[in-house]
Amino acid sequence: MSKCSNRAKKAIELGAIGYQMLPHFNKKLSISILKKPKLQCPVFRHMTTTTKHPRIPIVDLSKPMSEISALVHEALSDTGFMYVRNAAISKQHIESVLSMSRKFFTECDSSVKRTVEDPISAFRGYYVYKGTQSNVLHSNDNIECFSIGKECANPYSLRSEYFKRNGLPESIWKAGISKPNQWPKLPSQQFTKEFRETMQSYYNACVDTSTQILRLIAYSLGMTGEDVDYFLQFHNKWDCNLEPKFYPKFSVQKTEEKIRLSEHRDLTSITLLVQDQLSGLQVWDDHSHEWIDAPLSLSSGEGIILCNTGDFMAMWTGGLYKSTLHRVKASPFHSHHGPIEALDRISVVFFAWPNHEAVIQPLQRFTSTSHPPITCGDLMPFCYNNYNVSSVFVFALLNYLHFWRKKKQVMMLSFLFKVIILLRRETNIAISGKANSLNYFVRKIQFGYSVHQSCLSQFIKY
Ligand SMILES: O=C(O)CCC(=O)C(=O)O
Ligand SMILES: [Fe+2]
């Protein structure tokens, strides 16, 4: 595995830039399209064996920070992943959020889910996406999601500062991007109430846990006293996202490994994850060039959760704390007769983001990396499905020109193809009654362009 021919490397390099270009297929992958992954060989990654690895340590949050910070530093600068125990999320929290999510996904029929459908994927409501972006119709990689944001009387206030500062009229962002949580009316009143209470209380427990971890991260970077709250100032609105996911079960014909969610990095400060099956999540290990299983079992008797640092933490720390590729693999079991079954799976993911208007700059000791400051909200549009089309369109176009100059023919064609798809989509949106004003259209293009400019200069070297 360590050997990667130059030809393969080159091919990967070409492929890597355009990788996961369409954010509406997988919305958390945005930054991955902006930087060349440091990874050597995605093709070979698929060929490697998978091993369980002791390199993801368990950090006990009940211990003093001085005792655990070295372990945190080691884990986050190594794989960017660690398990935490004794967090503000209890075992009961985990059990109830997993069982409520399972109940919602498996017992509610599509008519109930449709009432909370989130067609523009603004991260509040129910939606389905393809985890591997496969174009094969029968590919079983649909992932059902139910997403909630911070529950508050006026969710628009969470992002208004950012959007006003950027001169975007409320009509563009208010109804779509900053909409309230969409709570489903479930088959019984009891279920409806419990579902909502469980989700909200789990969200709050995630906020408390993220607070603990962000302080611990600051400490592990050498900050003491009041400075351990350094990262909290950027998160004080807790405008984050909680997302239970359902990976349906399916039959596979061959014994080949089946990926259910493609490799990606998270556009977060930190991500917190629980899953209801022992296995599924895998983490790419840059040292051994292998996928590491990150098993996570409830049966361990403690409320252990998996935490990883995302792109924002990597920016703050000049890449010292990693934003590492990870993916979800199916857990197949062999029935004595008939085909192989891949088990269904529930995971609940909490994406902790900074406030939209928060300016992200490397910490002083990492300023040699000299990224220009960028706000969190500048990057988030890559996550918004509908809203974001122009940003992606402009991005694709500029990348296309960039490659054209470098005479990278293969990618040119691929980008051209993507540009055509996006153009078609954009035109449809502009023509449909939803966005019939030229002003809206032009604004989106301008916004997309400015996002592209800042992102490109920010991440191309990263
Ligand atoms: O479902 C999982 O275990 C992982 C999900 C994930 O990585 C993501 O949504 O970013
Ligand atoms: Fe992820």
Give the pLDDT mean for 2-22.
28
Residue with tokens 């098993």: 295
Residues in the chain: 462
Strands 125-130 and 142-147 come out as: antiparallel
Query: Which of the ligands is closest to the CA of residue 346?
Result: 1
Give the pLDDT mean for 303-310.
94
434 versus 173: which is more confidently predicted?
A: 173
Residue 447 neighbours by CB under 8 Å, 6+ apart: 166, 168, 381, 390, 391
Mean pLDDT highest for which of 116-130, 257-271, 383-397, 420-434? 257-271
Residues lining ion ligand 2 (Cβ < 5 A) are 266
CA of 7 to the centre of ligand 1 (A): 32
CA of 328 to the centre of ligand 1 (A): 7
CA of 438 to the centre of ligand 1 (A): 37
Q: Tell me if 78 CB under 6 Å of ligand 1.
A: no
Tally of CB atoms within 10 A around 24: 17
Mean pLDDT highest for which of 42-51, 136-145, 215-224, 260-269? 215-224
326 versus 341: which is more confidently predicted?
A: 326
pLDDT band at 367 (very low <50, low <70, confident <90, very high): confident
CA of 178 to the centre of ligand 1 (A): 23
Q: What is the mean pLDDT of the chain?
A: 74
pLDDT of res. 409? 52
Q: Tell me if 349 CB under 6 Å of ligand 1.
A: yes
Strands 58-60 and 81-85 come out as: parallel
- Nearest ligand 1 atom, CA 266: 10
Q: Tell me if 199 CB under 6 Å of ligand 1.
A: no
CA of 226 to the centre of ligand 2 (A): 31
Query: Among positive and negative, which fits the CA dihedral 230, 233, 236, 238?
Result: negative
Residue by residue, DSSP assigns 113-166 as HHHTB-TT--SSEEEEEESS----TT---EEEEEEB----S-TTHHHHHHHHHT
Give the pLDDT mean for 321-336.
84
**One-letter amino acid for residue 87 of the chain:** A
Query: Which of the ligands is closest to the CA of residue 26?
Result: 1
Strands 81-85 and 305-309 come out as: antiparallel
Whether residue 385 is predicted with pLDDT greater than 60 in this model: the reply is no
Please report the domains of the chain, with CATH numbers, ordered by start residue.
58-378 (2.60.120.330), 389-461 (no CATH)
Whether residue 25 is predicted with pLDDT greater than 50 in this model: the reply is no
Model pLDDT for residues 31-49, shown as the tens digit of each residue: 332 232 232 223 333 334 4
- Nearest ligand 1 atom, CA 275: 3
Q: Phi and psi at residue 101, in whole multiples of 5°?
A: -65, -45
Rounded to a whole number of angstroms, the CA Rg of the chain reads: 21
The alpha carbon of residue 43 and the mean position of all alpha carbons in its chain are separated, in whole angstroms, by 22
pLDDT band at 277 (very low <50, low <70, confident <90, very high): confident
Of the residues 347, 350, 383, which should be mutated to test ligand 1's pocket, given the most ligand atoms within 8 Å of the CB? 347
Residue 60 neighbours by CB under 8 Å, 6+ apart: 68, 84, 85, 86
CA of 427 to the centre of ligand 2 (A): 31
Distance, CA of 297 to CA of 305 (rounded, Å)? 9
Q: Tell me if 281 CB under 6 Å of ligand 1.
A: yes
- Nearest ligand 1 atom, CA 351: 10
Element (H, E) at 263: strand 259-264
Distance, CA of 325 to CA of 283 (rounded, Å)? 6
CA of 190 to the centre of ligand 2 (A): 32
Contact 98, 348 (CB under 8 A): yes
Please give the model's pTM, rounded to 2 decimal places.
Answer: 0.76
151 versus 412: which is more confidently predicted?
A: 151
Query: Which of the ligands is closest to the CA of residue 281?
Result: 1
Distance, CA of 380 to CA of 160 (rounded, Å)? 14
Whether residue 311 is predicted with pLDDT greater than 80 in this model: the reply is yes
Mean pLDDT highest for which of 29-38, 56-65, 251-260, 296-305? 56-65
pLDDT of res. 28? 35
Complex-level ipTM? 0.99
Of the residues 241, 245, 344, which should be mutated to test ligand 1's pocket, given the most ligand atoms within 8 Å of the CB? 245
